Structure 1
Amino acid sequence: MGKIIRKILGGFGTLSGASYPLRALLTFKRHPRLWKFIAVPILVNFVVAIALYGGLLFFGWQIVNGLEMDLALWLDRITTNLPQWLSFLEYAITGLFFVLRFILIIILLVATGFVLTQFGVLLGAPWYGQLSEQLEKIRTGKVEIIEINIVSDLGRAILYELKKLVLIAIVGIPLLVSGLFPGVGTVISTVGSFILTVTIVSLDFLDSPLERRRLRFRHKLSIVGRSLPASATFGVVCLGLISIPLVNLVTIPLCVASGTLFVCDRILPRLPRHYFLKS
């Protein structure tokens, strides 16, 4: 009865999933030796961030400025043709302009943080793997690894990235097309793109302990779905953390650590045995 009440109060994992970055931070505090495993990834993230924020963010900002100018011209035409008795709408339209500007900036920061994560997690994989192993040992008392040769390991890593790209294309292209239709299409595109981004982020941060068990990509994707709503709130919080410039240099390793704790607590105890099949 007590477990059921706790589940209800916790939104059936909603609040629990969102709390894992904080749990990871507390784990680092209790085990200071873990910090050495994120020193190199932070340096890698710093180098990648310089390239991304100096390039992608710069060109993205140019696009945002271009859209802002188009919006400003459009709003000027609207306010110029307003009758005198509707002049109060000018303030509302100006407010709408600033809201749209804010949304465009948020989208730009989220997109840049997402790309930084893809490169950062990939380049920092050896160190993140060691960190994940140490965390799993702390959490469960053991580390389970299905050993394979280096060629197979590299092949799985490349295949994983390709399958993510296929998933993004299969889901993202229809969403992009639907965004061309104002109204409902725009809403579907925005919400769908957000869900897709959160799913990819969840996959990346949960991957280390799952990959040690050599699970197939479809099983990893299934795990994200089976762990809802906790995996959704976990992904949303991580997406928010990696979208903050400079702060994300540290929060990316933190999210990798929180993903391992999430898997140890919520996935491994209920992981179907038939998932343990080599690709």
Structure 2
Amino acid sequence: MRDLAAGVRYLGRGQRWAVGHGRWFGFGLLPALVTFVLYAAALTALAFWADDVAVWATPFADSWDETWRSILRGLFAVLLWLGALLLSVLTFTAVTLLVGDPFYEKLSEQVEESEGGCPEDLGRPLWLELWTSLCDSLYVLWRALLLAVPLFFLGFVPVLGQTVVPALGFCVSGFFLTLELVSVAMQRRGIPVRERLRILRARKALALGFGVPLVLAFLVPFVAVLLMPGAVAGAALLVRDLMDEDGGVDAGEVHDGGVTGEGEQPHGPVGPAAGSRPPGGSRQ
């Protein structure tokens, strides 16, 4: 529960930071707004054609009684659109971060500078940063789909598909949404995507506390655009504490907005590549 509360707290801190820095808040809105318009158009088109897709995908039901045929195809159309919505939530952040990579990189750096210092730039060219981000996002999407696709078909199971499956879907989306958001600050530290996944797996509750509220909020039209700058800022704050030079995070106790604890081995890399604060750095 402590990690879960810590994740929510990081999300809140990030939103407060963005709102308190109006210039950077507006700076971070632009890529999210462009991506939102594209996704909204795609989902609207799918809603319009969902019934036709359902008829095409279920030819075996042509000979069924009209009532059962309508129920099956109606359920298929609804689940198809909900599956597309889930996929949109999973990919919205990745696409937005890719489109706005220079924007969010600068925003994330500014957050860390305001907290005491930013790790040194790895000195990679922009095209390499974009290529790395694209490859990492495709890897994350592939891992997410390994869970999302089975959940889609489990949605057809009575009762289970209307109760447990949606809850699991939100958790899957929240975890991988957090993974995408922390990638901005972790990539700056040279941490590969598989290592990021391992770190968050060790702190699932922390990732869910940060990501699930965002997933729920992203279901409301246009809210995703407004929350993206704060989400990137909150992820930078989360990574900063996870990768702290004094050994990272341990048992997950929240203290002064950070994550501390005792009795557990540190997670994630430590040392110059993973550190986030220069010696003597302080929070403002």
TM-score by length of 1: 0.69
User: What runs of 5+ residues in structure 1 fail to find an aligned partner?
Assistant: 1-10, 78-96
1:46 pairs with 2:33 = yes
2:190 is matched with: 214
Instruction: Check if 1:37 corresponds to 2:24.
Output: yes
Shift of the alpha carbon at 1:134?
A: 0.9
Pick which of 239-248 and 266-275 moved more: 266-275
Q: Aligned residue for 1:273? A: 270
The alpha-carbon distance between structure 1 residues 191 and 226, as it changes in their structure 2 partners (threshold 3 A), is same
Q: State which of 116, 131, 140 in structure 1 corresponds to 2:92.
A: 116
Other-structure match for 1:15: 5
What letter is aligned with 1:18?
V
CA RMSD after TM alignment: 3.9
Whole-angstrom distance in 2 between the partners of 1:164 and 1:275 = 26
Shift of 1:272: 2.5
Structure 1 residues 26 and 37, CA gap change in structure 2 (3 angstroms): closer
Q: How does 1:1-279 map to 2 (within 5 A)?
A: 11-30=1-20, 32=21, 35-60=22-47, 62-63=49-50, 73-74=67-68, 110-139=86-115, 141-150=116-125, 151-176=127-152, 179=154, 182=157, 186=161, 190=166, 192-268=168-244, 270=248, 271-273=268-270, 276=273
Larger radius of gyration: 1
Tell me, yes or no, if the aligned pair for 1:57 and 1:108 is still in contact at 8 Å.
no
* 1:105 to partner: Cα distance: 8.1
- C-alpha spacing 1:43/1:29, structure 2 compared with 1 (3 Å): closer
For residue 192 of structure 1, report the CA deviation from its aligned partner. 4.7
- Distance in 2 (CA, whole Å) between partners of 1:210 and 1:166 is 20
- Whether contact under 8 Å (2:10, 2:237) holds in the other structure is yes
- Determine which structure has the larger helix proportion and give its number: 1
Unpaired runs of at least 5, structure 2: 55-60, 249-267, 275-284
Amino acid paired to 2:118: V
1:259 deviates by: 0.9
1:106 Cα deviation from its structure 2 partner: 7.0
The answer to whether the Cα contact below 8 Å between 1:133 and 1:143 also exists between their aligned partners in 2 is yes
**Counterparts of 1:106 and 1:181 in 2: how far apart (Å)?**
12
CA contact (8 A) 2:89 2:173 kept: no
CA-to-aligned-CA distance 1:198-220 (integer Å, 9 cap, x gap): 22201111111111011111110
Count of residue pairs brought into register by the alignment:
239
CA pair 108-160 structure 1, distance change in 2 beyond 3 A: closer
Hey, what's the Cα distance between the residues in 1 that align with 2:146 and 2:113? Answer: 37
Q: Is the 8 A contact 1:23 1:258 kept in 2?
A: yes
Hey, what's the Cα distance between the residues in 1 that align with 2:117 and 2:150? 43
Shift of 1:184: 8.8
